[in-house]
């Protein structure tokens, strides 16, 4: 990171509040600045005049091929971690006649598209990267780069012989259930027509880029792109080596809009090369220490069979505050274990224990957030900049972030923080961006503005899913999702859903969640085959009961989310639009017990024919 100082804050540190009432008042004040009447509608989809921003910059050529007609057992839609794991677990269960379809040109999903410089997964790589023991690989660092994770996705595809089953650069337009033949027909933009007994959708929770609906967005005459389609042609460097030099930026004034997990990872790399970087901030991230490190060879050689699952299960339990003798991952996430446990205890009703839990959570939270705010003072030299970089909300209101480069970056002479005081960029015009009436002229705008959340499920996948009665899934779910444990929906036989925020429980390490889903789907299909059954779907009653359980678990978390600063967790302030609304908030372990019991009890709540 060049010669940036790491602990450069030399100004005297202002005292941070320890009085809970004062902190609560400050949080409300900061929240109120940010809440917008439009809620999630403040963002615009990347379509129409902006459609080109969705183009694949990594493999611009579309491989030509003839349309396929095939009859298979399973079509898996999506070749990210969900799709890959589904394919692997199906294959291991003896179900080999499958197709995996994805718009990208390779496996990887998130890690195919997101190749921005500085990209890393902020979850321990030894648990995040799936199937490490199966493919015989150990990550080179505790927090792996995006390239290393993408390579692992390719490794999984190659090891399990999945490339022959994949249709890449192919978009599924329509999946329609045909009651007469008891099959799905899957149609693509390449003219393919594939019939399948089962379909599995692994569309990913955050797959469709969004842009802030800033007035004048399309009037900008310079260059612009979204972080999930990084334009290395423009910046220099390469997607193969995102750590390489972006020399073409040396005479460029660059704006980055957005300071979430993505913004804080890519901005320091841009700062190293750009003539000038303006970081446009609406809400500061809470940035804790990262402390990445290379894999210790001795530790690596000590790993005994089954190590990855043990480590992953340990993480899940530690993160839920469940008793464990040791904390194997031991990092900034598990450091939050006490906070999680207390917050958890605080959501289980009106009891004295719940009140005590909530109070304890608030006290731990204040201590943690004060540490994070103090860290800003210790690192950032300019006092005014440091003040603007301090986050004023609870630790769990937004996705926690970690970096040992982001705050340090503001000590560089070529970097300016443009704080919008919670209001966002005012407007964009031909030459640049306007905040508080002042024009910041730039050559390029990079949007680190995240992904669609809370929009219609089929829209995010851009797929029409038509069930038994000719009703699209979008129509059925127009008043909210309706599933049985997130897997099945009534009226959509043999159609499984995978991923997060689908009325299932996903928390902490998502790939472990996806792997459990994949294994269970494979197990269910095998059971159906053994029983000679043709179809499975949710019963209307089973689905209603599960939706009620999801809502009940959500209501317990609602008061906390409602007081949070706006973001995608809480639907930009309207909690029922938030990602956590469609989450079973009773805990991953509890959820898995429920699903296991469901399977063991013969899939009650589902209709098997």
Binding site for ligand NDP (CB under 6 A): 34, 120-123, 206, 212, 214, 257-263, 265, 280, 282-283, 399, 420, 424-425, 448-451, 567-568
Helices 352-379 and 337-345 sit at what angle, rounded to 10 degrees?
Answer: 150
If one counts every other C-beta atom within 10 angstroms of the C-beta of residue 535, the result is: 18
Least separation in angstroms between CB 81 and ligand NDP: 12
Least separation in angstroms between CB 282 and ligand NDP: 3
Q: Which of 399/527 has CB closer to ligand NDP?
A: 399
Least separation in angstroms between CB 263 and ligand NDP: 6
Q: Where are the alpha helices (DSSP H) in 39-117?
A: 81-92, 110-113
SS3 readout for 336-374? HHHHHHHHHHCCCCCCHHHHHHHHHHHHHHHHHHHHHHH
Least separation in angstroms between CB 472 and ligand NDP: 27
Q: Which of 168/568 has CB closer to ligand NDP?
A: 568
Q: Is 218 helix (H, G, I), strand (E, B) or coil?
A: helix
Q: Which of 253/290 has CB closer to ligand NDP?
A: 290
Residues 171, 56 contacting (CB under 8 angstroms) = no
If one counts every other C-beta atom within 10 angstroms of the C-beta of residue 29, the result is: 11
Least separation in angstroms between CB 532 and ligand NDP: 42
* 32: CB partners within 8 A, 6+ apart: none
Q: What is the DSSP string of 301-333?
A: HTPPTTHHHHHHHHHHHHHTT---S--SS-STT
Q: Which residue has the tokens 């469609």?
A: 582
Residue nearest to ligand NDP (CB): 450
* Whole-number Cα distances in Å, 516 to 92, 342, 369, 511: 14, 27, 33, 9
Least separation in angstroms between CB 467 and ligand NDP: 30
Q: Which of 16/427 has CB closer to ligand NDP?
A: 427
| Bridge partners (DSSP) listed for residue 419 | 281
* Whole-number Cα distances in Å, 487 to 468, 477, 497, 524, 582: 17, 14, 5, 11, 13
Least separation in angstroms between CB 447 and ligand NDP: 8
The CA-based dihedral angle spanning residues 265, 266, 271, 272, taken in that order and rounded to the nearest 10 degrees: 90
Least separation in angstroms between CB 445 and ligand NDP: 11
Q: Which of 42/185 has CB closer to ligand NDP?
A: 42
Q: Which of 259/557 has CB closer to ligand NDP?
A: 259
Gap between the Cα atoms of 573 and 566, Å rounded? 5
Gap between the Cα atoms of 540 and 3, Å rounded? 62
Q: Which of 122/192 has CB closer to ligand NDP?
A: 122
Q: Which of 358/445 has CB closer to ligand NDP?
A: 445
Least separation in angstroms between CB 208 and ligand NDP: 12
Q: Which of 226/520 has CB closer to ligand NDP?
A: 226
Q: Which of 320, 255, 256, 261 is nearest to 288 (CA)?
A: 261
Q: Which of 265/394 has CB closer to ligand NDP?
A: 265
Least separation in angstroms between CB 230 and ligand NDP: 12
Least separation in angstroms between CB 205 and ligand NDP: 8
Q: Which of 204, 178, 191, 194 is nearest to 494 (CA)?
A: 178
N- to C-terminal Cα separation, the chain:
61
Q: Which of 242/424 has CB closer to ligand NDP?
A: 424
Least separation in angstroms between CB 608 and ligand NDP: 36
Q: Which of 11/431 has CB closer to ligand NDP?
A: 431
Residues in the chain, overall count: 609
Q: Which of 420/535 has CB closer to ligand NDP?
A: 420
* 540: CB partners within 8 A, 6+ apart: 490
Gap between the Cα atoms of 372 and 180, Å rounded? 60
Least separation in angstroms between CB 433 and ligand NDP: 9
Gap between the Cα atoms of 392 and 285, Å rounded? 9
Q: Which of 261/595 has CB closer to ligand NDP?
A: 261
Least separation in angstroms between CB 122 and ligand NDP: 3
Strand order in the sheet with 438-441: 427-429, 432-435, 438-441
Q: What is the DSSP string of 413-450?
A: TTEEEEE-TTS---EEETTEEEETTEEEE-SEEEE---
Gap between the Cα atoms of 229 and 579, Å rounded? 23
């Amino acid at each position: 990171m060049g010669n940036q100082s790491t602990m450069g804050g030399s100004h005297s540190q202002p005292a941070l509040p320890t009085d809970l009432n004062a902190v609560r008042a400050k949080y409300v004040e900061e929240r109120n600045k940010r809440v917008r009447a439009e809620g999630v509608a403040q963002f615009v989809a990347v379509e129409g005049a902006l459609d080109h921003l969705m183009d694949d910059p990594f493999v611009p050529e579309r491989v030509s091929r003839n349309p396929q007609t095939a009859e298979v057992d399973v079509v898996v839609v999506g070749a990210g971690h969900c799709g890959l794991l589904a394919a692997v677990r199906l294959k291991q269960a003896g179900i080999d006649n499958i197709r995996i379809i994805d718009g990208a040109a390779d496996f990887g999903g998130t890690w195919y598209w997101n190749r921005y410089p500085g990209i890393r997964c902020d979850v321990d790589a030894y648990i995040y990267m799936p199937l490490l023991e199966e493919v015989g690989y150990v990550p080179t660092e505790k927090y792996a780069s995006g390239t290393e994770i993408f390579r692992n996705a390719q490794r999984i595809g190659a090891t399990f012989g999945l490339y022959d089953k994949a249709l890449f650069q192919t978009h599924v337009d329509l999946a329609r259930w045909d009651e007469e033949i008891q099959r799905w027909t899957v149609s693509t933009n390449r003219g393919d027509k594939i019939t399948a007994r089962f379909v599995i959708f692994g569309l990913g929770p955050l797959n469709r880029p969004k842009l802030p609906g800033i007035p004048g967005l399309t009037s900008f005459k310079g260059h612009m792109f979204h972080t999930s389609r990084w334009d290395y042609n423009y910046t220099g460097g390469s997607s193969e080596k995102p750590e390489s030099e972006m020399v073409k930026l040396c005479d460029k004034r660059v704006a980055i809009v957005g300071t979430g997990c993505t913004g804080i990872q890519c901005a320091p790399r841009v700062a190293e090369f750009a003539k000038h970087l303006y970081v446009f901030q609406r809400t500061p991230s809470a940035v804790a220490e990262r402390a990445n490190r290379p894999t210790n060879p001795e530790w690596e050689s000590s790993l005994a069979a089954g190590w990855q699952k043990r480590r992953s299960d340990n993480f899940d339990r530690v993160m839920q505050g469940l008793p464990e003798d040791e904390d194997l991952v031991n990092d900034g996430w598990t450091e939050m274990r006490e906070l999680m446990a207390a917050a958890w205890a605080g959501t289980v009703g009106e009891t004295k224990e719940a009140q005590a839990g909530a109070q304890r959570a608030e006290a731990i939270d204040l201590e943690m957030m004060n540490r994070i705010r103090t860290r800003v003072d210790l690192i950032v030299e300019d006092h005014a900049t440091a003040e603007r970089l301090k986050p004023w909300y609870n630790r769990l209101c937004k996705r926690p972030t970690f970096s040992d480069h982001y705050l340090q970056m503001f000590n560089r002479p070529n970097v300016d923080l443009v704080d919008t005081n919670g209001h966002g960029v005012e407007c964009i015009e031909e030459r640049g961006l306007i905040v508080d009436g002042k024009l910041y002229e730039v050559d390029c705008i990079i949007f680190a503005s995240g992904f669609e959340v809370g929009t219609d499920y089929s829209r995010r996948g851009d797929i029409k899913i038509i069930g038994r009665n000719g009703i699209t899934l979008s129509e059925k779910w127009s008043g909210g999702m309706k599933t049985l444990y997130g897997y099945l929906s009534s009226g959509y036989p043999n159609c499984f859903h995978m991923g997060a925020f689908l009325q299932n429980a996903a928390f902490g390490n998502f790939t472990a969640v996806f792997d459990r889903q994949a294994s269970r789907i494979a197990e269910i299909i095998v059971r159906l085959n053994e029983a000679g059954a043709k179809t499975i779907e949710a019963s209307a009653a089973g689905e209603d009961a599960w939706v009620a359980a999801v809502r009940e678990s959500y209501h317990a978390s609602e008061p906390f989310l409602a007081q949070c600063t706006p973001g995608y967790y809480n639907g930009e302030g309207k909690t029922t639009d938030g990602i956590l609304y469609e989450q079973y908030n009773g805990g991953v372990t509890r959820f898995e017990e429920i699903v296991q019991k469901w399977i063991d009890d013969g899939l009650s709540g589902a209709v098997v024919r």
